[in-house]
A = this chain, B = another copy of it.
Amino acid sequence: MSTLLVVGGVAAGMSAASKAKRLDPSLNVIALEKSPYVSYGACGMPYNLLRPDDPMESMVVITPEQFRTKRGIDARTNMEVLEIDAYNHTVKAKNLVSGELSTFQWDSLVYSTGAHSIKPAWPGIELEGVLTLRDLVDGKAVKDYLARKAPKRAAIIGGGYIGLEMADVFTELGIEVTVIEKLPSIMPGWEPEIVKPVHVALEKGGVILLEGVTVTGFEGSNGQVKAVLTDGPTIPTDVVLVAIGVRPTVDLAVNAGIKLGPTGAVAVDREMRTNIPGIWAAGDCAEQWHRVLQRPAYVPLGTNANKQGRIAGENAVGGHVAWEGMIGTSVFKTLGADAARTGIGRAEAKDAGIDVAVSMIDAFDQAHGMPGRKPMRVILISRKDNGQLLGAQLVGAGVAKRVDILATAIWAEMTVKDVGNLDLAYAPPFSPVWDPVIVAANIAEKDVDPNGLECRFCK
């Protein structure tokens, strides 16, 4: 019997394990996960915090027991892999509960260790109340802290999507929020026309934004965090969330001789193969193939992890499926100003040497006359030479699935003219008769005069 060993059992790892076992029921599939949990929806943790009576463990989609009994997968938690021996095809692991050491033989291996929060060695980082929110253990710690300490003020370090989702959640919990971003603006990598309405919505919602401010450490009292120290003001707080990004977890891979790509994540081809025969990698520890840029990038998202995992699983049992790649489609919710993006932005286009046109529309999510309609902004980024749509960013109401229209159009290599011709659904509660997506495409095609359009976000 052949053995597939999966190192890391969250999204990518358990997708790989499930796919492989389904394709080859005779396969012995072992998944080793360092934490006490496999297969959970980490992205749902911020929203779980809003429900005090719903334990964080409810984020678990499938338990190790269910993997064993229903899917025939030997999923083991609290198992830290210490070494991957690529030559002898073994893995050494330690049971973190019993301390027991074991060695596993494998025929194929999927490396899916994920990523970990960046937590600099700031003085005071060890104080109680300085938290991160990456895995389920983090999520439990945050929830427990909120229950025990009932903080009144929170400082969030980092104005990316996790930071802003958490600003939303803390605000909803009645906690005063300060967001500290080192860069000149929150939402690095987003177009300024999209950032501005989010900025306005956050401040309107009572969130204090400190941009261009560098954290230098923390002040505490009796081991408990009391303030964030910066190169600017000192921010008194009852809890700190460090959300300045993640790094791929690659130590084991590097020690095993698995090569990293230029992004610092594990280099994989489109079949999720690493440089070592018999070892695949998938998920947040690995690079992702960017379909628009036609090169690897590092976009650690759950959607990509699940897809990469399935492909790794299929190929680990002899398949030859190539990933069609991703285009960086994502969305997040923050204080009524949802923001969504797909494809590339101005900066990425410039880096790639592509000359682009940018068109923008301020519109509403519902039809004329609907009293509850809310503003929305759409930006399209298209090739100047042939009009091919390369990117889109949206902010406001109703953007979450509208971005998918544009993601589909980018996927199909449509031009803005094509998008302007699309037959999209219309009923007054759901859309204006000309969907904002179509109007934005018509503007790009110079088919509409943008000066005639009211700026919904300018007030």
Contact = CB atoms under 8 A, between A and B. Distances in A.
B326 A423 contact: yes
Interface string A329-356: 1111100001010100000000000000
Interface string A411-437: 110100010011111111111011101
A326 B423 CA distance: 6
A352 B335 CA distance: 49
Nearest to A338: B430
A159 interface: no
Most buried by B among A54, A329, A430, A437: A430
Nearest to A372: B47
A408 interface: yes
Interface in A51-95: 51, 54, 58-59, 61
A328 interface: yes
A330 B425 contact: yes
Interface in A27-65: 41, 43-44, 46-48, 51, 54, 58-59, 61
A4 interface: no
A411 B423 contact: yes
A290 to B, nearest CB: 10
Contact of A423 (B59, B342, B437): B342
A433 B41 contact: yes
Contact of A331 (B61, B409, B411, B430): B430
A427 B306 CA distance: 14
B367 A41 contact: yes
B411 A43 contact: no
A440 interface: no
A368 B408 contact: no
A401 interface: yes
Interface of A: 11, 41, 43-44, 46-48, 51, 54, 58-59, 61, 165, 291, 301-304, 306-307, 324-333, 338, 340, 342, 367-371, 398, 400-405, 407-409, 411-412, 414, 418, 421-431, 433-435, 437
Given A11-B433, A41-B369, A408-B412, 13 more contacts: A41-B428, A44-B368, A47-B370, A58-B369, A165-B427, A304-B423, A307-B421, A331-B425, A332-B427, A401-B402, A404-B422, A404-B424, A404-B437
A-B pairs, top 7 by smallest CB distance, nearest first, are A412-B412, A400-B430, A331-B425, A401-B401, A408-B408, A324-B421, A44-B428
16 contacts: A43-B428, A43-B433, A47-B369, A47-B370, A301-B426, A303-B426, A330-B427, A331-B427, A331-B430, A333-B427, A398-B401, A400-B431, A401-B402, A404-B424, A408-B414, A411-B423
